[in-house]
Amino acid sequence: MTSKRLLNALEYPEVDSFNIKDDTSFRKIVVWLEKNKIKRAPYPLEPINSPEWRKTYEKYKKFLGCPENITNDEESLQWLAGYAVQEEYSKKKDVLKKHVAEETATKNIPDIKTENPLDTLDFYGNDFTDGINKVAKLLNITPHPNPTITLKAVKHIVTNRLTQHALKNPDKYITKGTPFPLQDADLGFDLSDPVLKQAAKILRMLYIQDLRHLQTKANELIVAVQNITANPKTDTRLGKVGF
Amino acid sequence: MVVRQYNEELKYLEKLTPYSWRIKKGFQPNMNVEGIFYVNQTLEKLMLDELRNACRPGMVGGFLPGVKQIANVAALPGIVGKSVGLPDVHSGYGFAIGNMAAFDVNDPKSIVSPGGVGFDINCGVRLLRTNLFLEDVLPVKEQLAQSLFDHIPVGVGSKGIIPMNAKDLEEALEMGMDWSLREGYIWAEDKEHCEEYGRMLNADPSKVSVRAKKRGLPQLGTLGAGNHYAEIQVVEEIYDKWAACKMGIEEKGQICVMIHSGSRGFGHQVATDALVQMEKAMKRDNIETNDRQLACARIHSTEGQDYLKSMAAAANFAWVNRSSMTFLSRQAFAKQFNMAPDDLDMHVIYDVSHNIAKIEEHIVDGKQKTLLVHRKGSTRAFPPHHPLIPVDYQLTGQPVLIGGTMGTCSYVLTGTEQGMLETFGSTCHGAGRALSRAKSRRNLDYMQVLRKMEGMGISIRVASPKLVMEEAPESYKNVTDVVNTCHAAGISKKCIKLKPIAVIKG
């Protein structure tokens, strides 16, 4: 039962013995929730055996904003307990968050005792530079003066083109098409510096490629929906050629 | 209209470049801005002859000459920049066909005019490519033409073969091509390659009269009559190899399908209804124009807004209409070649509207402004990198589809930066009439016209052969002149030339 779990979380002392069908027990819980957790009532809900109790309780529910379609005790108790949990949470939010963060942090730290050789590697040393340039040469990549950038390029090629799937279906990964005369392309604006202009053109191309991917995805989405909605019909009997 | 001698009139016109003329203020009364029109030598003669004829004593009735109409538009409240006449300009109702004009949305006096959109709202052209070549099609050309004719209902009073009820129509008016997508008539990529993604978001079917809906319902998915057609075309020339390649056109001889159609009786009724409303609004708001046919209302008035919402619904109607015909053309080809349309690579290259008013951002005198751009017989031609064109054409500029007249060639152009600056990203739309419909009927014989088509190796299927003279190439300006002028003036760039091998007409 949800209410029971909520009350348990709120540490209601008589959680094991309460009986929702019992009116006194129900009134007791409501009073306990208000006194210890919600603390909003503008007027007391006690004594619980007062003949006016139900009336006061309805007013109280309305005051807290309980939806009007909740009328039976079981549902309203669940709503009240939920409300109390919310109150509790917002009060202790920071503490709880920190707790969760600590919990996950401790779980994620890998239990490594040996030293990671990559940590001590000199990324700008000759050894590393030579090594990475050799790999680049194997993959037909022009090395960059900064070896870490060359490494990035190597990573890009390996993860995009040399995966098992890519090797098996090269057509899917290697874009085909007629080479584009970049030199003749109109950039759309003017830059006096030729180097800058070249760079701007390349950025243009990359942007257009991004757009193409986006459009392809949009088209795929449309086709997926079409598979559900499409039902083209023709009826030649309707046709009429004019005079 | 001011009555002046032809020589007097000429004083108000000034040749700016070999391809453009300025219309100075004073040519017509109350001009707020100047006019400009683009012509080459041949078209210039047609343009000025028209003016000369109108200046002859005793010439009354009919439309005003195109130059005069451009100048009258320049006198409308709220117009910015220039009133622009494209090379295919010819007289029409109020606005000349081939006239574009932009109005500042933030100027409370600015107007919207149904005459500036035209009666066939969102009339436009769609081009489908195939991976077939001339040699694949020639042996079955007649069968294919017949198959297209059987699939696409044509002619005045034709009825569509896609079952629609009133509820479907309401949804289609609101959703445009999204409706066709949802129902599965078209492909997701079709939407991607269509102006406005095939849907005007401000469409409100509740602003459309019952009469318009009644006229529109049975006509959805029909080609109509007049200058509308479906053609099987073959690539004759490629001027810009790279741009053509982006459109999936690799070589000469490749087969394409062009569909030129609009919103049929629906759009016509929407425009007619709006004109009645606007006459009242003009009286109330004291809007004065040089020509009664330039009926208009302030953009922010109820009448203006209602028109824009119902026009958007008509635009959506036209897109659904062209989409339905795309579906039917794909079926016709699939049946003929016993292959799926997918395998025939029947993708939409692009879909343009050449009768429409749209809210766009433009730079006017160095400042960004929100404008209501009227394009009547004028096609949007946005330059490369414009955010409103599909990603595939970001580097080439927007494809501009120029439908020729029956039996002549058609062109694909691309938008340019210069066009964006000079003509608010607009260019020509087709050949443009040289002879009036009545004059064509008097001067030409339909049997001759049909025989000439056959002589050119064009299979032709017509629903009403007796109206064919109206659409004969002789009745129109030469589309090549028109396109070359746009190319030379720099307002758009030639990309592909197409030649018809089969024509379906109303």
> What ipTM describes this predicted complex?
0.88
Spatial CA neighbour of A66 closest among A85, A81, A55, A54:
A81
Contact with chain B for residue A164, Cβ under 8 A: no
Q: Could you read off the pLDDT of A180-226 as tens digits, one per residue?
A: 777 777 777 778 888 888 888 889 989 999 999 999 999 999 999 99
Provide the pLDDT confidence category of residue A239 given band limits of 50, 70 and 90: low
Residue B142: the pLDDT is: 94
Q: Residue A110: its pLDDT value, please? A: 56
Mean local confidence (pLDDT), B302-321: 97
Question: What residues of B are designated binding site?
Answer: 120, 123, 227-231, 260, 354-355, 403-406, 410, 429-432, 505
Q: Which residue has the higher pLDDT, A174 or B341?
A: B341
Other beta carbons less than 10 A from residue B107's beta carbon: 17
Chain B residues whose CB is inside 8 A of the A240 CB are 153, 157-159
DSSP B17-73: ETTEEEE-TTSSTT-SS-EEEE--HHHHHHHHHHHHHHHSTT--SSPPPHHHHHHHH
* pLDDT at position A129 over 60: yes
A180 near B CB under 8 A:
yes
Q: What percent of chain A has pLDDT over 90?
A: 9
Predicted TM-score (pTM) above 0.90: no
- Rounded to 10 deg, the angle between the B166-175 and B302-337 helix axes is 100
| Helix, coil or strand: residue B257 | strand
Judged against a pLDDT cut of 70, whether residue B61 lies above it is answered with no
Residue length, chain A? Answer: 243
Question: Above 80 in pLDDT, residue B283?
Answer: yes
Is the pLDDT assigned to residue A104 strictly greater than 70?
no
Label residue A108 by pLDDT band (50, 70, 90).
Answer: low
What is the rounded average pLDDT of the residues B134-144? 95
Which residues fall within 8 angstroms of residue B53, CB to CB, at 6 or more apart? B59, B65
Partner-chain residue, chosen from B159, B185, B331, that has the shortest CB–CB distance to A239: B159
pLDDT at B285: 95
Q: How far is B154 from chain A (nearest CA, A)?
A: 5
How close is the nearest chain B Cα to the Cα of A163, in Å?
29
Region B312-318: mean pLDDT is: 97
pLDDT in tens, A69-81: 777 888 888 888 8
User: By C-alpha distance, which of B93, B103, B65, B71 is closest to B84?
Assistant: B71
Beta pairing partners, B379: B427
Token digits for B276?
A: 């009645």
How many residues does the structure list for chain B? 506
A143-152: pLDDT as tens digits: 888 888 889 9
- Is B87:B368 a contact under the CB 8 Å cutoff? no
Cα–Cα distance measured from residue A232 to residue A230, given in angstroms and rounded to the nearest whole number: 6
Percentage of residues of chain B with pLDDT beyond 90: 80
Whether A117 has a pLDDT exceeding 80, the answer reads no
- Per the CB < 8 A criterion, the answer to whether B487 and B493 are in contact is yes
B residues 158-187 lying closer than 8 A (beta carbon) to A: 158-163, 181-185
* Res A72: pLDDT: 82
Closest-approach residue (CA) in chain A for B331:
A234
Token pair, residue B259, equals 């569909």
Residue A106: is its pLDDT beyond 70?
no
Instruction: State how far the Cα of B329 lies from the Cα of A201, in Å rounded to an integer.
Output: 40
Q: Are A126 and A134 in contact (CB under 8 A)?
A: no
B252, B237 Cβ separation under 8 angstroms: yes
Asked if B391 and A215 come within 8 Å (Cβ–Cβ), the reply is yes
Residue A224: half-sphere exposure toward Cβ, Cα within 13 Å: 6
How many Å apart are CA A89 and CA A243, to the nearest integer?
A: 78
What does the pLDDT average to over B191-211? 96
pLDDT at B20 over 90: yes
Cβ within 8 Å, pair A232-B506 = no
Q: How many CB atoms lie within 10 A of CB A214?
A: 11
Residue B1 has pLDDT above 70, yes or no: no
Q: What is the pLDDT of residues B328-365, one digit of tens each?
A: 999 999 999 999 999 999 999 999 999 999 999 999 99
- On average, the pLDDT of chain A sits at 81
Specify the pLDDT at position A85. Answer: 85
Cβ contact B384:B239 at 8 Å? no
Mean pLDDT across chain B: 93
In B134-225 the beta strands, taken as DSSP E runs, fall at none
| A243 has pLDDT over 60 | no
Distance CA B180, CA B319 (A): 9
| Residue B253 forms contact with A (CB below 8 Å) | no
CA dihedral angle for residue B219, residue B222, residue B226, residue B228, rounded to 10 degrees: 140
Q: Is the pLDDT of residue A111 over 60?
A: no
Average pLDDT on B72-89 reads 96
Cβ-Cβ contacts under 8 Å, B265 against chain A: none
B374 is catalytic: no
The SS3 assignment for B315 reads: helix
